[in-house]
């Protein structure tokens, strides 16, 4: 079949697209026009004193939310003369998006997917201990919507489903306090608003400040940016090896300095490792399109204790999953990632002498788990300890590429679920991985300004 017969021009913009993407692309033109009309109508209603008010509860929540998160939003991109106008514009965008965003459809598992997983894990060998997060809804990629590019958005939806149920303080602020997980176009709008409010300026420039209606891949940085814009303390951790140092480094700090603290406000000379979202724009390492981030922390885990790696502390309120008591040892490969995940979910609450239950439910959020070409959600970890043998860790993962009904059926029937959910260290074959987690609490005004600059902790593995 010739290339001309497998592609066609969009009737709206004349862009040549594969036939499989043409309908989705054309529909987005219509959605864009409809959104703009709704935006103008909502604005007219808001400024017209003779118009009936919106539902009081929604109006009050919307107004208080947008006022709070527009404070300090106008930064370096606008002058002092236009700062008030910029804040007002963002206020209008938030108000309209709060009213117009749509709930994302998903297959709701009766009793909860994590409850089914817990029962399956409890029936396994007594040599294992599993720690899992609490409630998570699975959001799958759909052929008619986001197949091949939407995994990042689906993982954001999974994290959001957890936050809405398990974190009351987060439920009040994310997505305007809407109490539901928005669909991908709505999430794209929220990310654009975050960029307009100067969260991750350099990252937004790589997208030319636009992502709505596109099939652009996103990564951990965009996940962290979105949640940070709501005041959540989203943190990024990188894992990689020395062989890809020249490929993943960008202007910033020298990783040889083994920096543990961040010298805020000063851009260091040399290189910085990660974040690794640059791999998303190209599958060829030799053609990496780097996303610049000014600060990062580097930890050489071959020479220092894992517990010496730390994330930045904001007012002493941040929990550090890597500050655990462990003896120095020579850690090779992605075993360091496995151990980090164990320390994260266990939260340093368990000693080796403790007699643990086979399954423990952690208060930690799921982890956004990124590598080149795909992302998934880590919902827990299992460790097997046999006498005289080293610990064997297994990640417990929800993949947006799997069908929710298939996951549910395998867990209910207790057949084949391991193949869908379990991933051992031998399956981690990519040169670099990246995680995003969310610490408890809501950032204050000073913290919000700090969160606008993306940063990460790097572990050599």
29 or 74, which is more confident: 29
Mean pLDDT of the chain: 75
pLDDT band at 51 (very low <50, low <70, confident <90, very high): very low
- Helices and strands in the chain: count of H runs, count of E runs: 14, 14
Cis peptide before 258 (omega within 30 of 0): no
Lowest mean pLDDT among 22-36, 203-217, 445-459: 22-36
424 or 48, which is more confident: 424
Instruction: Name the pairing type of β-strands 16-18 and 374-384.
Output: unpaired
69 three-class SS: helix
Q: What is the pLDDT of residues 241-262, one digit of tens each?
A: 766 543 443 222 232 222 222 3
pLDDT, position 49: 45
Return the top range by mean pLDDT from 55-69, 264-278, 347-361: 347-361
Q: Indicate the Cα dihedral angle 329, 335, 337, 343, nearest 10°.
A: -60
Distance CA 380, CA 417 (A): 14
Whats the size of the chain, residue-wise? 461
The secondary structure of 256-293 as a DSSP string is GG---S--TT-PPSSEEE--GGGGGG-S-GGG--PPP-
Task: Dump strand ranges (E) for 283-412.
Answer: 297-299, 359-361, 367-371, 374-384, 392-398
pLDDT, position 356: 79
Question: How confident is the model over 373-386, as a mean pLDDT?
Answer: 94
Alpha carbon of 367 to those of 245, 374, 397, 414: distances in Å?
24, 14, 9, 24
Q: Is the pTM of this model over 0.75?
A: no
**The pair of three-digit structure tokens given for residue 176, joined into one six-digit string:** 């305007």
5 or 246, which is more confident: 5
Distance in angstroms between the alpha carbons of the first and the last residue of the chain = 46
Lowest mean pLDDT among 20-34, 114-128, 291-305: 291-305
Q: Quick check: 364 pLDDT over 70?
A: yes
Q: Quick check: 376 pLDDT over 80?
A: yes
Lowest mean pLDDT among 193-202, 323-332, 354-363, 366-375: 323-332
Distance CA 274, CA 297 (A): 9
pLDDT, position 26: 67
Domains of the chain: 113-460 (3.90.70.130)
Return the axis-axis angle of helices 151-166 and 184-196, rounded to nearest 10°: 90
Q: Quick check: 269 pLDDT over 60?
A: no
Closest CA to 301 of 376, 242, 230, 221: 242
35 or 167, which is more confident: 167
- What is the Cα gyration radius of the chain? 23
Q: Quick check: 168 pLDDT over 60?
A: yes
Q: What is the pLDDT of residues 110-153, one digit of tens each?
A: 999 999 999 999 999 778 999 999 999 999 999 989 999 999 99
């Amino acid at each position: 079949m010739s290339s001309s017969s497998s592609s066609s021009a969009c009737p709206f913009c004349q862009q040549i697209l594969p036939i499989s993407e043409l309908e989705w692309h054309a529909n987005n033109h219509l959605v864009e026009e409809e959104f703009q009309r709704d935006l103008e109508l909502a604005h007219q209603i808001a400024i017209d004193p003779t118009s009936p008010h919106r539902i009081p509860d929604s109006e009050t929540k919307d107004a208080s939310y947008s006022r709070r998160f527009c404070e300090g939003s106008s930064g370096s991109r606008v002058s002092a003369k236009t700062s008030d106008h910029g804040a007002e514009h963002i206020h209008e965008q938030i108000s309209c998006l709060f009213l117009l965003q749509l709930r994302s459809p998903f297959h709701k598992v009766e009793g909860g997917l994590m409850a089914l997983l817990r029962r399956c894990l409890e029936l396994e060998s007594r040599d294992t201990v599993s720690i899992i997060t609490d409630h998570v809804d699975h959001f799958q990629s759909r052929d008619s919507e986001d197949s091949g590019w939407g995994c990042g958005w689906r993982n954001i939806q999974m994290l959001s489903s957890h936050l809405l149920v398990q974190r009351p303080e987060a439920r009040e602020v994310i997505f305007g306090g809407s109490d539901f997980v928005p669909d991908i176009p709505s999430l794209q709008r929220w990310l654009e608003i975050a960029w307009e409010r100067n969260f991750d300026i350099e990252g937004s420039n790589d997208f030319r400040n636009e992502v709505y209606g596109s099939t652009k891949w996103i990564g951990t940085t965009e996940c962290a940016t979105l949640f940070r814009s709501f005041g959540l303390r989203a943190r990024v951790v990188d894992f990689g090896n020395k062989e890809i140092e020249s490929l993943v480094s960008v202007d910033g700090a020298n990783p040889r300095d083994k920096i543990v603290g961040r010298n805020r406000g000063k851009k260091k000379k040399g290189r910085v490792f990660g974040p690794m979202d640059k791999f998303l724009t190209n599958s060829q390492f030799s053609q990496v399109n780097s996303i610049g981030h000014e600060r990062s922390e580097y930890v050489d885990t071959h020479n220092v204790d894992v517990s010496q790696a730390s994330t930045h502390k904001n007012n002493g309120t941040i929990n550090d999953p890597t500050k655990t008591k462990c003896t120095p040892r020579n850690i090779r490969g992605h075993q360091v990632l496995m151990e980090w995940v164990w320390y994260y979910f266990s939260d340093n609450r368990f000693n080796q002498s403790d007699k643990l239950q086979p399954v423990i439910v952690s208060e930690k959020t799921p982890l956004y788990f990124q590598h080149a070409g795909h992302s998934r959600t880590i919902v827990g970890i299992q460790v097997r300890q046999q006498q005289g043998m080293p610990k064997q860790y297994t990640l417990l993962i929800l993949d947006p590429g799997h069908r929710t009904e298939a996951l549910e059926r395998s867990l209910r029937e207790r057949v084949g679920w391991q193949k869908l959910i379990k991933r051992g260290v031998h399956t981690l074959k990519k040169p670099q991985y990246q995680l995003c987690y969310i610490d408890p609490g809501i950032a204050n005004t000073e913290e919000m300004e700090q969160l606008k600059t993306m940063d990460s902790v790097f572990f050599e593995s």
